[in-house]
Structure 1
């Protein structure tokens, strides 16, 4: 069976972004895996990898219109805590935590560069 195993976002503020993601991803058990040659960092946990990188083409990073990264968590409380931690670290909300459909709990935010991320719990 195929599955998505990693995703990355770009940053023009790599040192700030690494500090942001170090603190945020630690709350869900993801740790730095290795430093990327672009000046970014890759993180891993129990299920997959996430990276914040400088673009390969050396052009400025831009936010993907319609792009979003989702983090599956175990409880609605973890979703709310992850969202709150992101905001504490300087993210902006793009949808407060809440039930979007029966048994579907989601929270959305944008990181320091404007990349859209989501924390969610189904069931």
Structure 2
């Protein structure tokens, strides 16, 4: 079981702007900041997704956020693209994972693969 995850970013302000917009679409907001180097996102008072400034961002990380329904996947994808993300797989079924796997993938400004996924039937 995971408590939280932190990914490295090359430009903290650019990444905060991206995640503020993309994650707000699925009810996840920036809750905390540790100086100019880290920001924590979550729900309520619990931050479970953190971004941290690194000298050289490590790309290729894949983080998937579970959402309650398919429209939330669609909202995430639209908001993430509007925030400057690059499409890495639009909203849709991925039956090769399982019959009700509905997800969308976006590359953040550092190349991390960020996903919203719903496992429920419509």
Q: Say whether the 8 Å CA contact 1:12–1:113 is kept in structure 2.
A: yes
2:50 paired with 1:68? no
Give structure 1 stretches of 5+ with no counterpart: none
Match of 1:96 in 2: 90
Instruction: Provide the alpha-carbon RMSD of the alignment.
Output: 1.7
1:31 CA displacement: 2.2
Match of 1:22 in 2: 20
1:18 CA displacement: 0.7
Match of 1:52 in 2: 51
TM-score scaled to structure 1, two decimals?
0.85
Please list every run of at least 4 consecutive aligned residues from structure 1 whose deviation after the TM superposition is greater than 3 angstroms: none
TM-score scaled to structure 2, two decimals?
0.85
Aligned equivalent of 1:106, options 97, 103, 110:
103
Count of residue pairs the alignment pairs up? 116
Paired with 2:31 and 2:93, the residues of 1 have a C-alpha distance of 33
Q: Say whether the 8 Å CA contact 2:103–2:118 is kept in structure 1.
A: yes
Match of 1:83 in 2: 77
